[in-house]
Amino acid sequence: MKILVCISKTPDTTSKIAFKNNQTQFDEAGVQWIINPYDEWFSLVRAIEIKEKDAASIIHLVTVGGADCDPIIRKALALGGDEAFRINAESNDSFYIAAQIAELAKKNGYDIIFTGKEAIDYNSSAIGGMIAELTDLPYISLATLFTLDGSTATITREIEGGEEVASVSLPVVVSCQKGIAEQRIPNMRGIMAARTKPLQVIEPSPIDALTSIVSFELPPAKAGCKMVAADNVPELIRLLHEEAKAF
């Protein structure tokens, strides 16, 4: 089984969100960078589990980003990837990123391409579908379970108000979320091994971005919380009904 896991670098979930240069750039001062939780906890771990059952499997990692992504990709190697590719380009355009990954995928040929459900910075949930379209593969989004039987995958995916079970022949692109695997912590052996695992930097293919960020905005500050005394529940309900018109 040849598996590609897409890894993105995102700010830690507790990061202060602020912008600079006239609100046109994310302010990275003091920000801790992590592997996007969906990629680390779910798609990468599910790939590792597949390899643990079928030792002949190979796990490739790919990230589209600058040299500042290297620590992130090393950590992913420490968790259990075999080989990593960094496509040396910075972009926030989903199409640009997906097209770069699709080029690599077409060249190497994978049985499974895993992405996370979404990157927690731009929250587009788009890269997986785009890779699938550009490589002409089936795509199953928001997977909560993934089982393999030979070359057939059975996948449970989230739909509005429930879930759907689907089966598909490999190759397939899958976006992963909670349920598909349990988060793991890298161990010392993995960290040592990661140092010598190959991390190949490749130059991007010539592809035009189709979108660009003009500016950022922070939502207006809340007016503050109106406190109601614990012995005055009817007042809370009155406020919700009459003032907030919430029901």
Partner 1 sequence: MSVLIYIEHAEGHIKKSANEVLTYGTKLAAQMGTSAAGLLLGTVKDNLADLGRFGVTTIHQVSNETLNQLDSQVTAKAIADAATQTGATVIIFSQTPTGKSIASRVAARLKAGLVAGAAALPDTSNGFVVRKTVFSGKAFANISITSAIKVIALNPNSLSAVETTGIATVSPLTLTIDAAKITTTAVNIISGEVPLTEADIVVSGGRGLKGPENWGVLLDLAKVLGAGTACSRPVGDAHWRPHHEHVGQTGVQIAPNLYIALGISGAIQHLAGVNRSKVMVVINKDPEAPFFKAADYGIVGDLFEIVPQMTAEIKKLKGIV
In which region does residue 73 sit, left (phi positive, over 0), alpha (psi from -120 to 50) or beta (all else)? alpha
Kindly state whether residue 124 participates in binding ligand AMP, applying the rule CB under 6 A: yes
Q: What kind and span of H or E run contains 112? A: strand 112-116
| Tokens linked to 78 | 């420490």
Kindly tell me which residue out of 14, 21, 22, 196 binds partner 1, with binding defined by CB under 8 A.
14
First to last CA, the chain: 53
Nearer to partner 1, 188 or 208 (CB): 208
Q: How far is the CB of 12 from ligand FAD (least distance, A)?
A: 8
In which region does residue 97 sit, left (phi positive, over 0), alpha (psi from -120 to 50) or beta (all else)? alpha
Kindly compute the dihedral angle of the four CA atoms of residues 213, 131, 110, 122, in this order, to the nearest 10 degrees: 40
Q: How far is the CB of 82 from ligand AMP (least distance, A)?
A: 17
Helix (H, G, I), strand (E, B) or coil at 20: strand
Kindly state whether residue 113 participates in binding ligand AMP, applying the rule CB under 6 A: no
User: Which listed option, ligand FAD, ligand AMP, partner 1, none, makes contact with residue 103 (CB within 5 to 8 Å by class)?
Assistant: none
Q: How far is the CB of 124 from ligand AMP (least distance, A)?
A: 4
| Tokens linked to 50 | 């597949």
Instruction: Considering only residues 40 through 59, tell me which ones interact with partner 1, judged by CB under 8 A.
Output: 41
User: Which listed option, ligand AMP, partner 1, ligand FAD, none, makes contact with residue 116 (CB within 5 to 8 Å by class)?
Assistant: ligand AMP
Per-residue interface string for the shown chain with ligand AMP, residues 39-58, x marking contact by CB under 6 A:
x-------------------
Region of 1-9, 146-154, 184-192, 205-213 interacting with ligand AMP (CB under 6 A): 1-9
Kindly state whether residue 230 participates in binding partner 1, applying the rule CB under 8 A: yes
Nearer to ligand AMP, 201 or 240 (CB): 201
Q: Residue 114's beta-bridge partner residues?
A: 5, 174
Instruction: Considering only residues 178 through 217, tell me which ones interact with partner 1, judged by CB under 8 A.
Output: 178-179, 209-217
Q: Pairing mode, if any, of strands 83-87 and 199-202? A: parallel
Residue type, 238: R
